[in-house]
Structure 1
Amino acid sequence: MTFIPEFLLQIPVTLSALFSQLLAFIIPLMIVGYVIKGISDLSDGAGKLLGLNVLMAYSNTLIGGFIAYLLASSLFPLFIDASIRETVQTEGTELTPLFTLPLEPLFGVTSAIVFAFLFGVFISWLRKEKKGEVMYHFFTEFGEIITQILKTLIIPGLPIYIFGNFLNLSYSGAVFSLLSVFWKVFIVVIGLQLLLIILLFILAGLYTGKNPLTLLKNQLPGYFTALGTQSSAATIPVNMECARKNGVSKEIREFVIPLSATIHLMGSVVTITSCVTAVLLMFDMPHSFGMMAGFIATLGVALVAAPGAPGGAIMSAIPFVYMVGIDPTGSLGNLLISLYITQDSFGTAANVSGDNAIALVIDKVYHKYIVKKEKPFEENVSSQISN
C-alpha cells in the first residue's frame, strides 16, 4: 500500500478510532442496561420447564467453553511460537488517526458491574415486596434503548470499524502473521462446534429413542439459515419448523426455541474462548485454567444480553475480557472483535442447532413426567364432578 498517500489511509483508521471511542462509551451503559434487567427478572418465571431449559442451556455453554479452552491450550501452542509472538509485537508502525474526540465513558467497566449487580439484586427484592416496578420498568426501557443503539448504530458500523483495524494491521505488516495463525484457529473452532452439535443430537436421540441421523438431517435448514443471517432471532421461524419435523410438540417448541435463542450460546462461547486463548498465547499473557474458568462462567451469563444480530455475542462479551487481562477498549479488544466477526455465522449456527437438541429433551421430560402426573389428577377431579 505504499503507493497510496498515508493521509488517505488515515481516514478509515480515524473512523475506526472514533468508533472505538463510541464503543468504549457504550460498554458500561450496556452492562447497566442488560445486567440490571437480567438480575431483576430472577424473581419471575418460576417453573420446572423454565428451570430445566436454563440449566441445560447454561450447562451446554459451560461445557463448550471448557472443552474449547482445553483444546486451544493444548493445540494452539503447536503453531503459536515465540517467533510469531515477536513478529506480531514488533512488526512495523501503526497508522495514527487524524484526530480523536475527548469522549470518556461516564464510569468504568468495574463500576458498571458493581452498580448493575447491586441495583439488580435490590430491585428483584423490591419486586418480591410488591414494590420497585417504576425502577424495574425504567431499566427495562433503558435496556431497550441500548439494544436500539446497538442495532442501528454500533452493529451496522462494525464493518467500517473492522476495515480500519485490518487496514492498520496490514500497514504495520502484522496482519499476515495474524492470519497465518487464525485460519488454523478457525478450523479448530468450526470442527469443535460441529462435533458438539453431533454429540448433542446423539445424546438427545438416545434419550428420546429417535434416530440421531434423522434429527441432524432435519436440522440442516436451521443451520444453513443461521449461517446466512448470522442471527439467532432471525432463524427462530425456520428452527421451529425443524423442531416440528423432529417431532417436538407445539407447546414445547413455541416455548423452548425462542427462549433458547437468547440463553443458549454454546457456539459463541466456543469461538470467544478459543480466540481469547489464542490472543493470550500470541502475546505471551497468562492463561491459567482458574482465570479462564471464571471468564467462561461469566460469559455463559453475560451473553444472554447479546442482541440477536450479527456480532451481538462479542459486543456483549467484550466488557468482560478484562477478567483475563485484556483491555476491552484497547488494541487487543479491537482485535478480538474483528476476529470474531469474521466467523460469527458458524457460532450462531451451532447455537441454534443446540436449541433443537435441548427442545427434544425437554419435550420428552414434559410428556413423560409433567403431563403424565397432571392427567391422573385431572381424571380424578372429573370423576368426582360426574359423581
Structure 2
Amino acid sequence: MKKKIGLLPRLLIGLLSGILIGYLSKELFHLDFFVRLLATFNGIFGNFLSYVIPFIIIGFVAPGIAELGKGAGRLLGITTLLAYLSTIIAGTFAYTVGNGILPRLINAASGNANNPEEALVKGFFQVDIPPIMGVMTALITAFLLGLGMAAIKNKTLYAAVKDFQEIVELVIQKVIIPLLPFHIAGIFANMTYAGEVVRIMQVFGSIFVIVILSHIVILLFQYTVAGAVSGKNPFQALKNMIPAYLTAIGTQSSAATIPVTLRSAKKNGISDEVADFVIPLCATIHLSGSTITLTMASMAVMFMAGHVPNFGLMFPFILMLGVTMVAAPGVPGGAVMAALGLLQSMLGFNEAQLSLMIALYLTQDSFGTAVNVTGDGAIALIVDKLAKRSTKKVTTAQEKIAGGEEKGCPSI
C-alpha cells in the first residue's frame, strides 16, 4: 500500500515547481504561455474560494456556537473565557512583535512592491463565481443560527447544520486541499516571472523564524501563569506536554491529537473529570498558536503591499479571529480557511493576497497546531485548580452545616 504524501511536502513541491516554471518561462523560453495557463487556473480557483467562504463561515461558526451553548455550568464558562483570553493575548503579542520587527525585514518600497499585481501575468480568461452572500452577512447568519440552536430544544436544525458542516469539510478535504499545491505553483510561477519571488521567499523565511520564536515565548508565558495558579512546576508541566506537541506536528489536527493531549495533561496531575472536559473543548476553541501565525502572516502580506497594519485595524481582527475559528474542522489549514472571510472583509485582502496568506499559513500550520494543543494543557491546569477550590468551599460549607445540625441547630 502506497503511503500518501502529506500536505506540506505537496505544497513545497508546488512552490518549487512554480518557481521553476516561472524562471524557465522568463529566462529560457521567453514566453508566458505556461504562466498564463496557471494564472487562468488561479483565477477560477480564487473565485471558487471566494464563493465557498460564506459557507465555510456558516458551516464552522454556527455549530460551534451551538455546541458551546449546549454546555452548562460554571466550568464551561471559565474554560471558554480562559481559552478566548489566551487566544487574544497571543494575537496581541504577535502584533506587538510583528509591528516591531517586520517593517525592518520587509522593504515595501522596493521594485513593484507597492503595486505587485501590475507586474503579474493575467489569465487567458476569467470565470466569475459571485458569492451567494457577503462575508459579514454570513457571519451574522452564523451567529443567529448558533445562538438560536443553543436556545431551542428541537435538534432538527442542529442536525441539518451539522450535515452542512460535513459537506463544507468534504469540499475542503476533497477539492480545496488537493488543488492548493497547483494554486501555490501558479502563484509562485507568476511571482517568479514578475521578478518578485526573491523578496517573497525572504519574507517567508523571516516569518517562519519569528513565528516559531513567538510560539515558544507564548508557551512559556502560558505555563508560567498556569504554574503560578496551580502551584505546579511550569517547566516540568511543559515537558510532560511534549508528546502532545510532537503528535500535533505530525497530525496537523487538534482533534486528532486529543488522546495524546489527554494522557499528557493527566500526567500533570489534572483530575480525569477536568481533563476529559477541558481538553476536547479547548481542541475546538483554543487557538493561540494559530492566531499568532495568522496575525503575523497577515501583517507580513500587508507590509509587502505597502500598507501599515496599525493596532486599530488589527485588534478587532484578532478579537474576531477568536470567534470565527471556533470549531474549525480537524483538517490541515482549517483555521486559515475559517479566517479568509475576515481577511477579506476586515483587512481588505484581494485574491492574490488571500493566496499568499494561505501559502504562508500552511507552511507553518503544524507548528501552530502544536502550540494550540500544548496550551490546552496550561488551561486545564488552571481550570483544575479552580475546580478543586470550588469543591473545597462546597465541602467546607457542607461540613459547617452538618456540624450545626449535630449541635441541635435546624437544618436549612
Matched, 1:36 2:57: no
Matched residue, 1:257: 279
- 8 Å contact from structure 2 (residues 65, 326) kept in 1: no
* Cα shift readout 1:235-264 (whole Å, capped 9, x = no counterpart): 111111211221222222111111111100
What is the distance in 1 between the residues matched to 2:209 and 2:177? 25
Determine the C-alpha separation between the residues in 2 that align with 1:139 and 1:168: 39
Q: Structure 1 289/95 Cα, relative in aligned 2: closer, same or farther at 3 Å?
A: same
Higher mean C-alpha displacement, 148-157 vs 215-224: 148-157
Q: Is the 8 A contact 1:326 1:332 kept in 2?
A: no
2:184 aligns with: 162
Residue 130 (structure 2) pairs with residue 104 (structure 1): yes
> For residues 43 and 340 of structure 1, what CA distance do their matches in structure 2 show?
30
2:33 — aligned with what? 7
Q: Post-superposition shift, 1:355? A: 0.5
User: Does 1:369 find its partner at 2:390?
Assistant: yes
Partner of 1:330: 351
Question: Which shows bigger deviation, 306-315 or 78-87?
Answer: 78-87
Match of 2:83 among 50, 57, 63: 57
Deviation at 1:142, TM superposition (A): 1.8
Q: Provide the residue aligned with 1:342 in structure 2.
A: 363
Q: State the alpha-carbon separation in 1 of the partners of residues 290 and 275 from structure 2.
A: 22
2:210 equivalent to 1:188: yes
CA distance in 2, matches of 1:378, 1:148: 55
Measure, in 2, the Cα distance between the counterparts of 1:344 and 1:377: 49
SS in 2 for 1:105: coil
Change (3 A) 1:62 1:260: same
How far off is 1:366 after superposition? Answer: 1.6
Answer whether contact 2:60 2:325 (CA < 8 A) is retained. no
Question: Kindly tell me: are residues 225 and 124 of structure 1, through their superposed partners in 2, closer, same or farther at Cα, counting changes over 3 Å?
Answer: closer
Distance 1:344 1:180 in 2: 19
Question: Aligned partner of 1:352: which letter?
Answer: V
2:297 to 275, 291, 314: 275
* Matched residue type, 1:367: K
| CA displacement at 1:151 relative to structure 2 | 2.5
- TM-score normalised according to structure 1 size: 0.88
Runs of 4+ in 1 over 6 A off after TM superposition: 378-381
- The 1:91/1:27 distance shift into structure 2, 3 A limit, reads closer
The alpha-carbon deviation at position 80 of structure 1 amounts to 2.2
How far does the alpha carbon of each residue in 1:288-308 deviate from its partner, in whole angstroms, 9 at most, with x for none?
A: 212211110000111113212
3-state SS of paired residue (1:359):
helix
- Residue 270 of structure 1 deviates from its aligned partner by 0.7
- Contact 2:222–2:375 (Cα < 8 Å) also in 1: yes
Q: What is the TM-score of this pair, normalised by structure 2? A: 0.83
Find the partner of 2:375 among 354, 365, 369.
354
- Counterpart for residue 121 of structure 2: 95
C-alpha contact (below 8 Å) 1:85/1:284 kept by paired residues: no
> CA 1:156–1:372 in structure 2 vs 1: closer, same or farther (change >3 Å)?
farther
Classify 1:114/1:244 alpha carbon distance in 2 versus 1 (closer, same or farther; 3 Å). Answer: closer
1:225 is matched with: 247
Q: Does residue 1:246 correspond to 2:272, yes or no?
A: no
Partner SS state of residue 210, structure 1: coil
Which residue is equivalent to 2:331? 309
- 1:27-83 deviation per Cα after TM superposition (whole angstroms, max 9, x unaligned): 111222233334444542121111111111100000011111111112211222343
Shift of 1:208: 1.9
* 1:106-144 deviation per Cα after TM superposition (whole angstroms, max 9, x unaligned): 22223323333344444555x1xx5x5433333232223
Q: Quickly say closer, same or farther: Cα 1:244–1:287, change in 2 above 3 A.
A: same
Distance 1:63 1:380 in 2: 42
CA deviations over 1:300-340 (Å, ceiling 9, x no partner): 1111132122111100011111344323x521111111111
CA RMSD of aligned residues (A): 2.7
Indicate the SS of the match to 1:145: helix
| Aligned equivalent of 1:321, options 332, 339, 343 | 343
Matching residue of 1:19: 45
| Aligned counterparts of 2:298 and 2:241: Cα–Cα separation in 1 | 29
Amino acid at match of 1:27: I
Change (3 A) 1:8 1:284: closer
For the 8 Å contact 2:56–2:337, the answer to whether it is kept is: no
Q: Which runs of 5+ in 1 are unaligned?
A: none
The answer as to whether partners of 2:270 and 2:384 remain within 8 angstroms in 1 is yes
Between the aligned partners of 1:75 and 1:9, the Cα distance in structure 2 is: 34
Q: Distance in 2 between matches of 1:84 and 1:231?
A: 38
- Asked whether the equivalents of residues 303 and 316 of structure 1 are also in contact (C-alpha less than 8 Å), the reply is yes
1:46 corresponds in structure 2 to 72
CA distance in 1, matches of 2:278, 2:247: 18
> Number of residues paired by the alignment?
378
Task: Give the conservation status (yes or no) of the 8 Å contact 2:114–2:306.
Answer: no
Cα distance in 1 between the residues matched to 2:116 and 2:302: 16
Distance 1:140 1:62, change over 3 A: same
Which deviates the most, 244-253 or 101-110? 101-110
- 1:90 & 1:32 partners in 2: Cα distance? 33
Distance 2:251 2:37 in 1: 30
Query: Quick check: 1:80 aligned with 2:106?
Result: yes
SS at match of 1:304: coil
Distance 1:14 1:147 in 2: 26
Q: Once the 2 structures are TM-superposed, how far is the Cα of residue 193 of structure 1 from its aligned partner? A: 0.8
**What amino acid is the match of 2:76?**
L
Tell me, yes or no, if the aligned pair for 2:43 and 2:127 is still in contact at 8 Å. Answer: no
Q: Is 1:147–1:307's contact at 8 Å kept on the other side of the alignment?
A: yes
